[in-house]
Amino acid sequence: MTERSTIALDVMGGDHGMSVVLPAAVQVLSRRDDLDLLLVGDKDNIHRELDKLGQADNVHLSIQHASQLVDMDEPASHALRHKKDSSMRVAINMVKEGRALGCVSAGNTGALMSTARFVLKTLPGIDRPAICTALPNRSAHTWMLDLGANVDSSSEHLLQFAVMGSELATAVDGNPNPRVGLLNIGEEEIKGNETVKKAAALLGGSQLNYIGFVEGDDLFSGAVDVVVCDGFVGNIALKSIEGVAGLISHFIKREFKRNLLTKMSAFVALPVLKAFRKQIDPRRYNGASLLGLRGTVVKSHGGTDALGFASAIEVAAKAVKQQVPEHISSRLQEILAERQAS
């Protein structure tokens, strides 16, 4: 019999709330037999929506009532102090209490990070959690962190990020020795600021498969599995990538709609365009892990649809199944012990 894991879902968070989260939950359960989902939010509204979906009697869906909602523009400090019964806070509490092994929220990123760090605490040896997600490349995907949790990071923090990203790649992708690169303005050793250079020295002396500095175009080449940077650089890179993807989509649509001939060409090219769109569809890569915590927390994009939120649930399910936090803690302790012995 398949062992089931429970994941808590913040049903009220994000731009669309339960209108996205509940259909996503149903999607995931329809293709997995190893999950139970704990729906956190206003129980009366959740019951009504489950009735509409014909899922009121689904034994793998349970409800935990929460009376408050964290607004998308609400300051993290205010949410932490005054929204103790929010769907976000209660979902994280479920992980703390052991009623769930992980949680997923599309809510306010700052509030989610602050609350998760306050409730769950960081793993031993981890100073700061980091946000990590997968980006499509020529062969599969590249993991990148930090994507905005930490504006300023020391060389020691970058080493910790590398450990976390490497363990995530191993757990989720089954990659026993992921290649780790440090994002820089060039591949030469003399380039970069002092923090990056010191981080390179620490990574080079670690047990990780460190391949050196990588540049922005390496994110998509397939030459590296985990790219490490501070949150300031990572967030700008991520938003730039999203912007370029949107621009390319705009140009393609505009050119195919230009006249009757181009519209006919679009019809002929439709199978190729659909395959291309599927490969770069951001919904398929939705779900950023908050690594370094004593529990699994996944952030979904606030404006995603049911397909995207389902992808975020899948990210959490894989992390829970492979016990990512435990592996991160174990690997970091090995590296710290090795450094102390040398």
Give the tens place of pLDDT for each residue, 286-324: 889 999 999 999 999 888 999 999 999 999 999 999 898
Residue type, 308: G
Q: Which residues partner with 293 through β-bridges?
A: 122
Q: Which percentage of the chain shows pLDDT scores above 70? A: 99
The pairing of beta strand 130-136 with beta strand 5-10: unpaired
Average pLDDT value for residue range 9-24: 95
**pLDDT value of position 342:** 65
pLDDT of 1 over the 60 cut? no
Give the tens place of pLDDT for each residue, 132-146: 999 988 888 999 999
Per the CB < 8 A criterion, the answer to whether 224 and 183 are in contact is: no
The pairing of beta strand 35-41 with beta strand 61-65: parallel
Confidence of residue 39 (pLDDT cuts 50, 70, 90): very high
**pLDDT value of position 2:** 66
Distance linking the first and last C-alpha atoms of the chain? 47
Q: Phi and psi (nearest 5°) for 35? A: -125, 145
Average pLDDT value for residue range 36-60: 94
**pLDDT value of position 8:** 97
Question: The domain 5-126+292-321: what is its CATH number?
Answer: 3.40.718.10
DSSP string, 82-146: H-TTBHHHHHHHHHHTTS-SEEEE-S-HHHHHHHHHHHH-BPTT-SS-EEEEEEE-SSSEEEEE-
Average pLDDT value for residue range 262-278: 80
Per the CB < 8 A criterion, the answer to whether 95 and 103 are in contact is: yes
Q: Name the class of domain 130-282.
A: alpha beta
Per the CB < 8 A criterion, the answer to whether 270 and 300 are in contact is: no
Give the tens place of pLDDT for each residue, 143-165: 999 998 888 899 999 999 999 99
Q: Phi and psi (nearest 5°) for 97? A: -85, -5
Q: Where are the domains of the chain?
A: 5-126+292-321, 130-282
Average pLDDT value for residue range 171-193: 90
Average pLDDT value for residue range 332-338: 79
Predicted model pTM: 0.88
